[in-house]
Amino acid sequence: MLPVANAIGNQRHLQAVRNGLISILPLTIVGSFFTILLNLPIPSYSEWIAPYLPALDVPFRFTVGLMSLYAAFTIGSYLGSSYKLDKTTSGFLAMLATLLMVMPMNLAEGIDTAGNAVAAGRYLPISALGSQGLFGAIVAALISVEIFHFTKVRKLEIKMPDGVPPVVGESFAALLPTLFVVLVFWIPRHFFGFDLNGLLTIAISPLKGFLTGNNLIGGVVTQFVICVFWALGIHGHAVLGPIIRPFWDQAILENSELFQNGMNAFDLPNLFTEQFYQWYAQMGGTGATLALVVLFLFSKSKYLKQLGRLSILPGIFNINEPIIFGTPIVMNPLLAIPFILVPIVNTILVYIVTILGWVPKMMVKPPFSIPAPLGALITSNWNWVACVMVFVCFFVSLGIYYPFFKAFEKIQVEQEKQTEAAEKEKIMTMDQTVVSE
């Protein structure tokens, strides 16, 4: 499976999408903090900030609300860099293509959210550059950079004479690619009404619903595949990230925008967001290994106990490479079983509780390193049941890991005894040799 996994993980277009979306993570996190700031469950606080809501909402709109535009630039830059093209030009062309797909709106005079008069004119709807335009932005970025690459390979560029500053030369070299990008995206959208975003929305809606909606099978399959890859020694998120991360990002952005616009957290459309897995199914990292780390702390094996001490602090902050490779869980049939099973059981458990209406859906994207109880509390609009469910999942994880841990511990203790016996025998032999000499 390794060649296939490497081929997927190293494919230039998928790699550009993955790296580009990861690059805009600071914007998503900062925008999510403003969502949290505007929705603290304190009545007096809500009354106090009420007059300032339009102004406080601006950072969210210009971070999460324009996510597609930022994603287009970063994805275009990474893809252009893989072709050894100018990164800045590649990013700008991707942004240009994304903007050309947005149809301006003709508005009569009115009033904006701050109460100021708005003159009649043409305006770009910001909603088209948010979560709903993410897949269109990805496609636009890939196509525009491919156009740039094509013109470079075919030498369709305006060359300036020697002695011209490089910046000027690069600007003129980008003239023809820019013209081609404008024509390719402007004519179909504005003359023939071809809506690429709308087409992509229809095309991916079944897959989006399967992976990030309320489909339990999709949630279970996602967890199973990621954990199996890790158990085989292959970075599951690195392999599947280019494929599934756009769906995860669009899902949490959509939830965030709808929540910010007044929708109840229980009614949000996307259940299986990345945050759902982080705080419920995978406490401590992939495989929900925090429970295993705690078991290691009380192990009879000296090695496992020491490994538990080394892994507990990273595990609390959802970093589990020490436990995965130190135990190891990789290529370990005994521990691979609960490693794969635990996240699936947690997923099913929290799915049932969410469908019953006891726990709201996730609507913000804080850093993944926040400890699970606090992360669940923040992302569920401060719902205490969500925090309780983290502990329920943790104890369920402990129960599933325990018999496998005891079997593995028994093997490890026996190996340590054999090693100690061999060391003692070696020392005794050396002592006898010294005495005889």
Q: What is the pLDDT of residue 433?
A: 64
- Is 199 a residue whose pLDDT tops 70? yes
- Element housing 117 (H / E): strand 117-118
Q: Which residue has the higher pLDDT, 393 or 207?
A: 393
The pLDDT of 196-213, averaged and rounded, is 81
CB 129 within 8 A of CB 251: no
The pLDDT of 387-415, averaged and rounded, is 94
- Element housing 118 (H / E): strand 117-118
- Is 206 a residue whose pLDDT tops 90? no
How many CA atoms does the CB half-sphere of 70 hold within 13 Å? 20
Q: What is the pLDDT of residue 369?
A: 83
Q: What is the pLDDT of residue 113?
A: 61
Q: What is the pLDDT of residue 158?
A: 80
pLDDT > 90 fraction of the chain, expressed in percent and rounded: 42
Peptide bond into 328 cis (omega under 30): yes
Q: Which residues are 106's β-sheet partners? A: 122
Q: Which residue has the higher pLDDT, 116 or 217?
A: 217
Number of other CB atoms surrounding residue 82 within 10 Å? 16
Q: What is the pLDDT of residue 304?
A: 93
The pLDDT of 167-193, averaged and rounded, is 88
Q: Which residue has the higher pLDDT, 427 or 324?
A: 324
Assign 232 a pLDDT band (cuts: 50, 70, 90). Answer: confident
Residue (of 71, 56, 61) closest to 24 by Cα position: 71
Q: What is the pLDDT of residue 305?
A: 93
- Is 6 a residue whose pLDDT tops 70? no
The pLDDT of 220-249, averaged and rounded, is 82
The token pair that represents 180 in the structure block: 């081609």
Q: What is the pLDDT of residue 261?
A: 86
The pLDDT of 116-143, averaged and rounded, is 84
How many CA atoms does the CB half-sphere of 404 hold within 13 Å? 20
pTM: 0.75
**What is the pLDDT of the chain when averaged over all its residues?**
87
- Please tell me the least confidently modeled range out of 146-160, 228-242, 253-267, 392-406: 228-242
- Element housing 121 (H / E): strand 121-123
d(CA 153, CA 147): 10
Q: Which residue has the higher pLDDT, 132 or 345?
A: 345
Characterize the bridge pairing of strands 117-118 and 105-107: unpaired
Q: Express each pLDDT in 281-291 by its tens digit.
A: 999 989 999 99
Q: What is the pLDDT of residue 182?
A: 95
- Please tell me the least confidently modeled range out of 55-69, 92-106, 121-135, 296-310: 121-135
The pLDDT of 32-45, averaged and rounded, is 82
The token pair that represents 404 in the structure block: 């496998």
pLDDT > 70 fraction of the chain, expressed in percent and rounded: 93
Q: Express each pLDDT in 149-178 by its tens digit.
A: 999 998 887 877 777 777 777 778 888 999
Q: What is the pLDDT of residue 2?
A: 60
The pLDDT of 314-329, averaged and rounded, is 88
- Is 343 a residue whose pLDDT tops 90? yes
What burial class does residue 23 get, using C-beta atoms within 10 Å of its C-beta: 0-12 exposed, 13-18 middle, 19+ buried? middle
Q: Express each pLDDT in 40-81 by its tens digit.
A: 778 888 888 888 888 888 888 898 889 999 999 999 999 999
